[in-house]
Homo-oligomer: A and B are copies of this chain.
Amino acid sequence: MATIRDVAARARVSTATVSAVVNDSAYVSPELRIRVLAAISELNYAPSQAARSLKRGRSQLLALVVADLANPFFARLVWAAEAAVAAWGYSLVLFNSDEKPENERRILARIRALSCDGIILVPVDVVSTQPQRDSEGEAIPTVLFGRTVEGQNTDTITIDNVAAARQVTNYLMDLGHTRIGTITGPLHLTTGRGRLEGMLEAMRARGLTPAPNHIRAGEFREDIAYSVARELLTQPEPPTAIYVANGVMALGVMRALADLGLKCPDDISIASTDTIPGIGGLRPRLTRTEHPVIDMTNEALRLLVDRINRGSRADARNIVFQPSLVVGESCAPYKS
């Protein structure tokens, strides 16, 4: 397509003037402006982003690295992020680390090569929090999303996992349940660890302790939660209520119940932190916490764009969002 030189020639001005018109970066007389704009539209000119990036050192690209694209929670994040990124005038480059540290490393190298202006990262690995350096040795502005890792000095957007688990557990205890089991996420993740801690803390506060074999790891995956739930419910003294650490796993648990012929909430109460969009239509409605993904995403972008524009001088900001408990019909009072 046409270059800035073609436009300049056709409008009988210099390339500097065309650039000034395109970027509105200097005064141009109305007469010349009109000639330039006419030439632009006649030649169907659009500035080359590659040339711009090279000269400006900014690419107008923001990277989003999610840990598991197949998880509806992150799918929702992608949806919200695409809109927010576009609203700020950037384009979104999407990556999926699939919970694998080696993928994450490869992706971060790629992001650096693309000279993305900023990164929203759902971290898998501690390594990833070492800030990524750009072509001038500056750290690429990064916001960690949803999870954090030890000793980072980066902006973070998280949910209060401990509080979420506490709310759900308290709700189950308020219904009279004492034999509560849980299917947790991976404990090397802050989301997994925090949610387990919150549950244990809430029970401890009422003098309760879950049986060791009522605490199971579910990897945040539907299929694993399914088989773990089957095990959990077929043992001699099964729990009367299960707290499930995320929405995808809750779906797996529901499937296990159906296959075991158990009725929810009559035979067992189920509640979770986090949910799946669209699941709202199915019965019984799940009692769960809702996490404000859209607000969290918008805030992440505000932080990121702010850091891009202001430089990375400011101290890291850690913003914690509060979940809200939504009561469905998946829990019933304890009956002995």
Residues of B within 8 A of A94 (CB): 78, 82, 92-94
Residues of B within 8 A of A5 (CB): none
Is residue A227 within 8 Å, beta carbon to beta carbon, of the partner chain? Answer: no
The reply to whether B69 and A96 contact each other, CB–CB distance below 8 Å, is no
**Interface extent on A, as a size class?**
35 or more
- Determine how close the nearest CB of chain B comes to the CB of A136; give it in whole angstroms: 7
Residues of B within 8 A of A137 (CB): 1
Is residue A172 within 8 Å, beta carbon to beta carbon, of the partner chain? Answer: no
Q: Determine the distance from Cα of A44 to Cα of B133 in the docked complex, in whole angstroms.
A: 10
Is residue A113 within 8 Å, beta carbon to beta carbon, of the partner chain? Answer: yes
The reply to whether A69 and B59 contact each other, CB–CB distance below 8 Å, is no
The reply to whether B222 and A281 contact each other, CB–CB distance below 8 Å, is yes
Residues of B within 8 A of A311 (CB): none
Assess A82 versus B69: contact at CB under 8 Å? Given A54-B50, A283-B258: yes
Is residue A14 within 8 Å, beta carbon to beta carbon, of the partner chain? Answer: no
Assess A252 versus B281: contact at CB under 8 Å? Given A54-B48, A72-B75, A82-B96: yes
Q: Determine the distance from Cα of A26 to Cα of B137 in the docked complex, in whole angstroms.
A: 30
Chain copies in the assembled complex: 2
The reply to whether A113 and B47 contact each other, CB–CB distance below 8 Å, is yes
Q: Determine the distance from Cα of A114 to Cα of B116 in the docked complex, in whole angstroms.
A: 13
Among A59, A69, A72, A278, which residue has the most Cβ atoms of chain B within 10 A? A278
A107 nearest in chain B by CB position = B86
Known: A1-B136, A91-B114. 8 other contacts (CB 8 A): A51-B54, A72-B72, A78-B78, A78-B94, A86-B95, A91-B93, A254-B282, A255-B282
Closest 6 CB pairs of A and B: A255-B281, A50-B53, A50-B54, A75-B75, A69-B79, A1-B135
Q: Determine the distance from Cα of A263 to Cα of B330 in the docked complex, in whole angstroms.
A: 19
Residues of B within 8 A of A61 (CB): 93
Is residue A316 within 8 Å, beta carbon to beta carbon, of the partner chain? Answer: no
Q: Determine the distance from Cα of A17 to Cα of B26 in the docked complex, in whole angstroms.
A: 41
A247-285 to B contact mask, C-beta < 8 Å, 1/0: 010011011001000000000000000001110111100
